[in-house]
Structure 1
């Protein structure tokens, strides 16, 4: 067994492409959004609070991105029965709110994206547009 393995990383070009696509989708909905992108370890790579987005939604968007990267699934995959406990146990860093999606390339998680400030459906649509822009698994 090898002590190392190759892995993909999310480049700054991909982050900028995702931010641009997410902004465009949010504008199509007429809903300014907070957009946060993290790498697979939860490190912040890109973030923007669009003009008019709710400033507290920045915090929930970050939690959504962290959650999606950590569980390698949509934030809504966290069972209802444990959402509150997980949120409390992590100091609010994990959430089951809609709008957090993992960034998957050929089955490998390379990060997470979190969107906040709109409805759950709007948040998911904006995140999905960002993933499509880089050809990520949907």
Structure 2
């Protein structure tokens, strides 16, 4: 039997708070979602001024990263070579979702929406860094 870490409320909040602080510091109005390893939401924050669709998009990016166990950008990059992947309706092939990996295992994901693809990923990395500091 294998054992793995599980994200709790405290860890999800820490990731969310760090990403929100980074977004605010950069003057970005974004939504941030943290999911468990099956893509179910643990935490969601829509910063003041973030677009109306950004919460759903952030959640879907996180879900995608959790389910594919890789950055959501990777799926977006594969679509060019394999357009049939667009038929996978539970996935959002856009950059901005990052898996949360602890001891080599995916325990969840963070999704960011509201900036450019690079901004979304940078803010997501800031959230991941907060967890790395506590584990």
Check if 1:119 corresponds to 2:97. Answer: no
- When structure 1 is superposed on structure 2, of 80-89 and 38-47 the one drifting more is 80-89
Q: Secondary structure at the match of 1:32?
A: coil
Matched, 1:81 2:84: no
**Quick one: which of 24, 27, 30 aligns to 1:27?**
24
Give the deviation of 1:80 after TM superposition.
2.6
**Cα RMSD after superposing both structures:** 1.7
CA distance in 2: counterparts of 1:58 and 1:83, whole angstroms: 28
Change (3 A) 1:50 1:85: farther
Q: Give unpaired runs (5+ residues) of structure 1.
A: none
Structure-to-structure mapping, 1:46-65, within 5 angstroms: 46-65=43-62
Q: Check conservation: 2:79, 2:86, Cα contact below 8 A.
A: no
Out of 102, 105, 119, the residue aligned to residue 105 of structure 1 is 102
* SS of residue in 1 equivalent to 2:55: helix
Q: Offset at 1:81?
A: 2.5
Whether the aligned pair in 2 keeps the contact of 1:83 and 1:96 (CA below 8 Å) is no
CA distance in 2, matches of 1:84, 1:47: 30
Relative to the length of structure 2, the TM-score reads 0.89
Counterpart position of 1:67: 64
For the residue of structure 2 that corresponds to 1:54, the secondary structure is coil
Q: Give the 3 Å change call, closer, same or farther, for CA 85–62 of structure 1 in structure 2.
A: farther
Q: C-alpha distance in 2, partners of 1:105/1:37?
A: 15
Structure 1: which 4+ aligned runs deviate by more than 2 Å? 80-89
- The TM-score with structure 1 as length reference comes to 0.87
